[in-house]
Amino acid sequence: MKNSVISTWFVADGQGEETAFPQIGELSSSTVQFQNIYWQCICVFFASSIRFNPQRQHVLFTNAAAPKIGDFDVNSFLKATVLYPGYPEVRGPERFRQFSLCIRLGLCLDSIG
């Protein structure tokens, strides 16, 4: 499929920008421990998608650098994925972040044509 992309996004909260996530418990969303949970989920998502959709472009939009979790280098693992750091340039309600993501995704599709 031309211009077919499988993507997701992750917004790492900084101190003072925390968001409540009941499924994580009492961990603050700006902590490394909290964010590593999401990085691990991102790795599972892309590992399974790349395995079953090797012909598709995979894109991760994020405002954070991929970390090392123990001995596991997330950045090296995601080498088959296009990383778009700097997302989101828009802070605020989720709907604005999603709109920003759609604009970036359109630019991404144009660039991989």
In the chain, where the domains are located:
5-112
Cα–Cα distance measured from residue 113 to residue 110, given in angstroms and rounded to the nearest whole number: 5
Quick one: average pLDDT of 66-74? 93
Task: Name the residue among 76, 74, 97 with its Cα closest to residue 87.
Answer: 97
Query: Residue 38: its pLDDT value, please?
Result: 92
Cα–Cα distance measured from residue 101 to residue 9, given in angstroms and rounded to the nearest whole number: 8
Quick one: average pLDDT of 17-44? 89
What pTM does this model have? 0.73
Residue 83's beta-bridge partner residues?
Answer: 60
Looking at the predicted structure, is the pLDDT value of residue 34 above 90? yes
Quick one: average pLDDT of 17-37? 87
| CA-to-CA dists, residue 88 to 11, 17, 49, 52, 69, angstroms | 7, 13, 23, 28, 23
Query: Residue 2: its pLDDT value, please?
Result: 56
